[in-house]
Amino acid sequence: MAHDLLTLAFQRPAIDWHGIAPELVLLSMGALITLVDILFLEKARPYTAGLAGLGLLATAVPLLTLAVDGADRVMFSGAYVIDDFSLIMKAVFLLAGYVVVLLSTNYVAEGDYWENEYYGLLLASVMGMVMMASARDLVSIFVALELLSIPAYLLVAWRKRDLHSTEAGLKYYLMGVFASAVMLYGMSLLYGVTGSTLLSEVGAGVAAAGTSTAVVTMGIVFVVVGFAFKVSAVPFHTWAPDVYEGAPTPITAFLSVASKAAGFVALLALVFVGFYSRSEVWEPLIWVLAALSMTVGNLIALRQTNVVRLMAYSGVAQTGFMIAPLAVAGHGLANGDQALSATVTYLVIYTAMNLGAFAVIISLARRTGSADVTSFAGAFHFAPGLTIAMTVFLFSLAGIPPLGGWFAKFEVFRVLATAGEPWGYVLAAVGAVNSVIALYYYAALARRMWADDPLHGDRNPVPMTPSLASALVLCGVVTLAFGVAPQLVARFTDVSLLALGG
């Protein structure tokens, strides 16, 4: 076989330069930051945050031209695809990355951390996510997953001399690497039974009669479990609260939104393109993950006293809602597409509202240096604007109209209820009960901020910075706009993976 390979002339694959322009821009900006760091060292520090933000915005330009062009592009014999689904997710990753840069600007500069490398790694991680949105091949999914994870491990442990940060980094690293190793084992089995790493061919091979059911089941379960770690679904969520608490808070925001969304993107591509015909395997698995995530996440969130940990468990519960439509996605094409749209809609809206909540947490924690719930008590007396913003984001997370989170939850319930399947109704009921539990702790935090007295009667105002303020305004406007006019988001999230067949 090796001999045959050597005698083949090398043929350069046809590359669609317009199609990979976003990745190229992002890559060159990341390289530029590294170069500026090497050339100017400390003198470059004040400029790298701006450079990183600029890089993310510049990446959005080719993304827009691709969206205007509108044609689906297929590269590398189907391993890399640009379609509506990948474009909307790329836009989410870029915007999330941009907001995280805004959140980091002062946090990193004031904390005396390494700054140039921080933004370089952040861009590398966003690059992995942008690649993940297009990956339709086991190899490219794996490479994108590692490209987004490895910089994230480093960023979590960024506060080098802080034991909490080191502990968080090591836990995240060990859990993440273990999960990706298990996922790889599943992928190797799927490659073995289908003879291809291309998702569309894996899909065809898995569907074919005579394919070993036991091996396929094992492969699918391992891969789904691997990504369940990434999106922090119960019972694979144990790393999330510790990592969120120990990491620098802007990185926590990044993980809770962008990294989770990247895990979902891969999971959606795998389930809809690769495993769709084996719904009897992944539907029950995802049903259990969804029900457990919602219930366990919410119940543990009830007794948290640290707001970052509270957001971690709330994020686990939100994962349950995002994954829930997939539990009934295997019943025909129309139903599958609706489930896909519901999950993507939820991801888009969740990104805006969760980043907004973290922007408030970072602003308020700047004052006392702690994210303990006592730092938030009576915030209305010293930071009325932040309190109003936090209330908006919390109620949006709880799903109260007319805020964005309402539409996200509505879509999920609609898919569950119209699937015409008993298990769908049961999951919808579990979700409804959990919405009420979630409202309790979101509202309890909001009540403390409005009604309680400030800690030690300290009423000094919170020092705001332009970058934090713009992050807040951006997230707030998006959260409100999507709630008042849901057609704005629905227009972009009406995507399909099934009609294309990959």
Partner 1 sequence: MLLNQFLLLSAVLFAIGVYGVLARRNGVLVLMSIELILNAVNLNLVAFGAFRETVGGEVFALFVIAVAAAEVGVGLAMVLLLYRNRRSIDLTQIDQLRG
Residues at the contact surface with partner 1, assessed by CB under 8 A? 1, 5, 138-139, 142-143, 146, 150, 153-154, 157, 160-161, 163-164, 166-171, 173-174, 177-178, 181-182, 184-185, 187-189, 191-192, 195-197, 241-242, 245-246, 304-306, 309
- Minimum CB separation of residue 220 from partner 1 in Å reads 16
Q: Does the N-terminal peptide bond of residue 463 adopt cis geometry, omega within 30 degrees of 0?
A: no
Closer residue to partner 1 in complex, CB, 116/338: 116
What's the closest the beta carbon of residue 179 comes to partner 1, in angstroms?
10
283 contact partners, CB below 8 Å, separation of at least 6: 326, 327, 328, 329, 330
Minimum distance between the CB of residue 354 and partner 1, rounded to whole angstroms?
21
Instruction: Kindly state the tokens that stand for 410.
Output: 């509505």
Question: Least distance in Å: CB of 251 to partner 1?
Answer: 15
Cα(395)–Cα(398) distance, integer angstroms:
5
**CA angle (174, 256, 95) in 5-degree steps:** 125
Q: State the chain's maximal CA–CA distance in angstroms.
A: 80
Please answer whether residues 374 and 447 qualify as being in contact, where contact means their C-beta atoms are separated by less than 8 angstroms.
no
Minimum separation from the CB atom of position 415 to partner 1 (A): 34
Give the nearer residue to partner 1 in terms of CB position, either 21 or 170: 170
Counts for the chain of helices (H) and strands (E), in that order: 22, 2
Contact assessment for residue 499 and residue 423, using Cβ atoms and an 8 Å cutoff: no
Indicate the residue type of 380: F
Nearer to partner 1, 109 or 177 (CB): 177
* Cβ–Cβ under 8 Å, residues 445 and 310: yes
Helix (H) or strand (E) holding 81: strand 80-82
Could you tell me which of 202, 215, 226, 41 has the C-alpha nearest to residue 142?
226
Nearer to partner 1, 218 or 464 (CB): 218
Pairing of strands 73-75, 80-82: antiparallel
Distance CA 299, CA 297 (A): 6
CB of 46 to partner 1, least distance (A): 27
Residue type, 206: V
Q: Which residues contact 187 (CB under 8 A, 6 or more apart)?
A: 138, 142, 197, 219, 222, 223
Which lies closer to partner 1 via its Cβ, residue 195 or residue 284? 195
Nearer to partner 1, 195 or 466 (CB): 195
Cβ proximity to partner 1, 40 vs 178, nearer residue: 178
* Min separation Cβ 111 and partner 1, Å: 17
Taking the complex as a whole, the smallest distance from the CB of residue 116 to partner 1 amounts, in Å, to 18
Residue with tokens 């969760």: 354
Nearer of residues 144 and 359 to partner 1, judged by Cβ = 144
